[in-house]
Structure 1
Amino acid sequence: MAYLDEFILIALAHFFAVASPGPDFAIILKQSISYGRRNALFASAGVGLGILVHVTYCLLGVALIIAQSETLFNWLKYLAAAYLAYMAFQALQAKPANGEVQKMSTHLSDEPVSRSFSKGFLTNALNPKATLFFLSLFTIVIDPNTPSLVQAGYGVYMALATWVWFSFLSLILSKTQVRAFFLKSGHWFDRGIGIVLLILAVRVVLL
């Protein structure tokens, strides 16, 4: 099969990239524990769709412009860092719950699924780590002579694989026993996630 070797290399690189802890994992963990399976699955779909943003600008050649413009790339970093810092601030404002862990079902309707979806989408689409990954993928790994349609196919695969991976994590993390374990820490868990997001925001700026 033509381009099979290239596809295998891309699939392996993508697997290691998506499996490594980062903003995407943090937001899926937050959604799974705080709002439950449905919201986490919508957030996972948002993360998967965000992949197509990176694929699209790479196919259009914008990635080359970003690579050559330090100012443009820095603005992207600052925008991503600001968004992560905003989510961190919200998480750090978490207050102790009034109920017990048995009342955790009340957490499931606290946030509309559309907002969970947009959080997942923006977290990935504004992630400079993802920008660097796709920039290197489309300029180094993928042969320039590979047809655009094939390259688009690679992108669709990575979006679907990302969606499947984070949906799988959502199903695991939103299990009653897992949520109960995390919810025992209540507001401390939310604040912990806030600190993680804040650290990620700082790391984004220092990239």
Structure 2
Amino acid sequence: MHIEIFQSFPYLPELISVSVIAVLMAISPGADFVMVTRNSVFYSRSAGIFSALGVSFAIWIHVAYSIAGLALIISKSIVLFSVIKYLGAAYLIYIGWKTLRSKSLIDIDESSTVNVLSQWSAFKVGFVTNALNPKTTIFFLSIFTQVVNPQTPLWMQLIYGLIISLSHLVWFSVVAIFLSQPALLQLFKKSKKNIERVVGGVLIGFGLKVAATTNS
């Protein structure tokens, strides 16, 4: 029975592998998670969801260069990977520093109109964070050079990309919805300055860790 299934759909093993790795990749803590958390808590549920949407759209950049064969080139080029790594590190440190320096970033009050992040700005933050995330780059390098066969047709590779993108969208949307619950926001409000410091410090920490990571 299993043999017949594999014969009728030879890409099933790849599909299962990619799907499992995509879910694990999405839920593993990292810069994307911290950024979506930041925008959900500091701004609004909508900001968190649009950040999640930005992350899922950025996934297609990684899919595109992987399908184009650039993943193999990047994996062999210290210079190209270093450029991605340092740009990503700089962006995380920049956002972290802005969070630490903000005087009134969190004013969690339903009647407040001062603390607003537009949907487009939230989308851009999520998009750039993922697009320049070396962790995501490494993930795609391993997927498209180790798991996906070079002979796998384009339409199947696009399905893999869709699975990865949707996994990130669903997971981070759930994170945004959960963290923006009114009861949780009231708890966050009581410790808003400490949360600012922690989130800003974590983002800067991620950035420094990325910059310090070797390319080997």
User: TM-score band (shorter)?
Assistant: over 0.9
Task: Compute the displacement of 1:95 (Å).
Answer: 2.5
Contact (CA 8 Å) 1:36, 1:107: kept in 2 or not?
A: no
Contact (CA 8 Å) 2:88, 2:132: kept in 1 or not?
A: yes
Partner residue, 1:21: 29
Partner residue, 1:82: 90
Q: 1:201 to 1:98 in 2, by over 3 A?
A: closer
**Is 2:207 aligned against 1:176?**
no
**Is 2:143 aligned against 1:132?**
no
Give 2:193's match in structure 1, choosing from 181, 187, 196. Answer: 187
Contiguous gaps of at least 5 residues in structure 2 = 1-8
Structure 1 stretches of 4+ with a deviation exceeding 6 A read none
- Measure, in 1, the Cα distance between the counterparts of 2:75 and 2:13: 26
- Measure, in 1, the Cα distance between the counterparts of 2:127 and 2:163: 17
Q: 1:70 to 1:107 in 2, by over 3 A?
A: farther
Higher Cα radius of gyration:
2
Give 2:151's match in structure 1, choosing from 138, 142, 145. Answer: 145
- How many equivalent residue pairs? 205
Partner residue, 2:4: none
TM normalised by structure 1 equals: 0.93
TM normalised by structure 2 equals: 0.90
- Measure, in 2, the Cα distance between the counterparts of 1:155 and 1:26: 23
- Measure, in 2, the Cα distance between the counterparts of 1:139 and 1:42: 31
Identical-residue share of aligned pairs (%): 38
Please report the RMSD computed on the Cα atoms of aligned residues, expressed in angstroms: 1.7
- Measure, in 2, the Cα distance between the counterparts of 1:116 and 1:195: 20
Contact (CA 8 Å) 1:95, 1:187: kept in 2 or not?
A: no
Q: 1:33 to 1:144 in 2, by over 3 A?
A: same
Task: Compute the displacement of 1:104 (Å).
Answer: 4.7
**Is 2:15 aligned against 1:10?**
no
